[in-house]
Structure 1
């Protein structure tokens, strides 16, 4: 059984970070999230992957190639035009096994798939949707189920008092390939608004089961930050690179920490990072590989991708910086989101 990773999203709400980058390639703990996902699924026995790509697909293909570096096989289904979630699955049909797993590749999770697969085999329907429970369902498509856990309908962004449950689509499915006969070709198709309601009407068996484990859509800058803080405080247990000293400081290889510099946990420092004298990094800071941080810098609640250069006496709070950004001396930045081209959003 192979896995289809839906990696074609535009990531509009994460711009400017994703202006020229597929959203699943955004760094999470100094590694592209898509790499975390491949490793996580490989550890659960998946060896055959199909990646549905659209937005800057060359970034994904150049990084992963055929997957042999990770001990897996990867093929690519390229969308020439945006097709929506269901359309992307249909576009990859020729690569898929008779039964396959679909994972939205822009959702950070550590979900175990075996219970979902066992449940799918037990009920005998054509689709099993992994569900997650949220405190506020008003921003999602909420599911209504019967006592057998068959999904009866989706209610899009209901008022709280009208929500049939707090269960939403987690973006993880087990599907029989024959279900794809209901998806039209060569046009954009929404799986929640069009395909799943059609499958429910056709009574092919659409079931839902609540998944366990960490789950977070990284589609906004606020959620992207929260994912990192959850990683650092270990609410999310995905692996963090570097050596952990037992007190919430992860330090990569070949780092230079200047005299009087202080790391305030929790903090993650990548490989080959230089930190100048009397700088204070943390709490809740993630510094990418090959970054240079000057003297007397204050950096907290900030995520910095690889190869950034932060000059002397800069104060940073609640910022996100993309690859290779350089900041001049003596600036104060709060809630800035900047990419290499210098674009900024508060």
Structure 2
């Protein structure tokens, strides 16, 4: 099987975290999400990948390489300018097989694709859109389907009481190569607003199939936090690196140095080569990235630190997200989101 990962965007709503980083490279549980995604699809039998890249492509290419270290093959489709969802697929056409899976690589998910693939083979249409169910569809585009699953129209952000369904596009598609004949080359094209409606109108066959498992659009800081709390609570069953300690809900990486009188309040995830100073209190709901240094008497709760962060002694942090290499002086911070090296003055 072959999968095309769409990984060209920056993710403006996650700034400043993704200001100089492709959104799918944001860390999830101390590892780039794109790496998690690659491993997940390999587990489901995908061994050939095409990754559509644009902004900071070198970060993706240098991390994943040609895929050999993961036991897969990776090729890259480079966009000279952003071409939209369908435009990026069309740009990758020379690298694609007769049938392939398209994945919006910034969508967090862990799903079983076997039933969707079987459904796609059975109906014989050009596209199967994987669908997920949400409590409130008013923030999304929902689908209206026939009894056999064929999609007849999309309803954009309906009022909750007027929505024909609560099923939305999950950002995962099974596609036949013939669908690409209906995407114009050389310009930006939206798959949701242009390509899918066209394929419905011309009878190519666009079907929808509900998928189970975990699904989260990490497009906001609140949802980015929530997916980490789901990870720590194991509602999101992503593999966690490190050993779980004697007390459940505390994961420690390699070479973690913990000072005297430190209190770890689960759930807590601590990466490799982390130092925690004396009498610090870490957790609940804390993720500390590899190579970070936490000073003495630090209080850290409901916060996510990426790699190589340095928190000086006496700091108090609640609901913060710090990008790689952040340095903060002694202070009290609440709901801070930062992605540059600085000293935060005491308030």
TM-score w.r.t. length of structure 2: 0.97
Instruction: Give 2:54's aligned residue.
Output: 54
Instruction: Give 1:100's aligned residue.
Output: 100
Structure-1 separation of matches of 2:53 and 2:136: 31
After TM superposition, the structure 1 = structure 2 runs for residues 79-158 of structure 1, keeping only pairs within 5 Å, are: 79-158=79-158
Instruction: Give 2:259's aligned residue.
Output: 258
Instruction: Give 1:294's aligned residue.
Output: 295
Structure-2 change in CA distance of 1:51 and 1:238 (3 Å): same
Instruction: Give 2:275's aligned residue.
Output: 274
Instruction: Give CA-to-partner distance per residue, 1:320-340, whole Å, 9 cap, x none.
Output: 0000000012x0000000012
User: Which secondary structure does the structure 1 equivalent of 2:130 belong to?
Assistant: strand
Instruction: Give 2:224's aligned residue.
Output: 224
Structure-1 separation of matches of 2:61 and 2:39: 16
8 Å contact kept, 1:321–1:337:
yes
Verify: 1:209 aligned to 2:206, yes or no.
Answer: no
Structure-1 separation of matches of 2:341 and 2:267: 29
Structure-1 separation of matches of 2:148 and 2:225: 38
Aligned residues: 343
Compute the displacement of 1:55 (Å): 1.4
Structure-2 change in CA distance of 1:164 and 1:7 (3 Å): same
8 Å contact kept, 2:126–2:175:
yes
8 Å contact kept, 1:16–1:343:
no
Compute the displacement of 1:163 (Å): 1.1
Structure-2 change in CA distance of 1:105 and 1:343 (3 Å): farther
Verify: 1:284 aligned to 2:285, yes or no.
Answer: yes
Structure-2 separation of matches of 1:301 and 1:277: 20
Structure 1: 4+ residue segments shifted above 4 A: 341-344
Structure-1 separation of matches of 2:343 and 2:238: 30
Structure-1 separation of matches of 2:58 and 2:100: 25
8 Å contact kept, 1:274–1:293:
yes
Q: Considering only aligned residues, what root-mean-square deviation do their CA atoms show, in Å?
A: 1.1
User: Which secondary structure does the structure 2 equivalent of 1:185 belong to?
Assistant: coil
Compute the displacement of 1:33 (Å): 0.3
User: Which secondary structure does the structure 1 equivalent of 2:325 belong to?
Assistant: coil
Gaps of 5+ in 1: none
Instruction: Give CA-to-partner distance per residue, 1:209-233, whole Å, 9 cap, x none.
Output: 1001000011110110000000000
Instruction: Give 2:164's aligned residue.
Output: 164
Structure-2 separation of matches of 1:30 and 1:248: 16
Structure-2 separation of matches of 1:341 and 1:155: 44
User: Which secondary structure does the structure 1 equivalent of 2:224 belong to?
Assistant: helix
Structure-2 change in CA distance of 1:281 and 1:91 (3 Å): same
Structure-1 separation of matches of 2:7 and 2:111: 18
User: Which secondary structure does the structure 2 equivalent of 1:27 belong to?
Assistant: coil
Instruction: Give 2:193's aligned residue.
Output: 193
Structure-2 separation of matches of 1:343 and 1:216: 33
Verify: 1:314 aligned to 2:301, yes or no.
Answer: no
Instruction: Give CA-to-partner distance per residue, 1:126-180, whole Å, 9 cap, x none.
Output: 1000000000111111111011110011111111122111000000000000100
8 Å contact kept, 2:329–2:343:
no
8 Å contact kept, 2:325–2:341:
no
Compute the displacement of 1:5 (Å): 0.3
User: Which secondary structure does the structure 2 equivalent of 1:148 belong to?
Assistant: coil
TM-score w.r.t. length of structure 1: 0.98
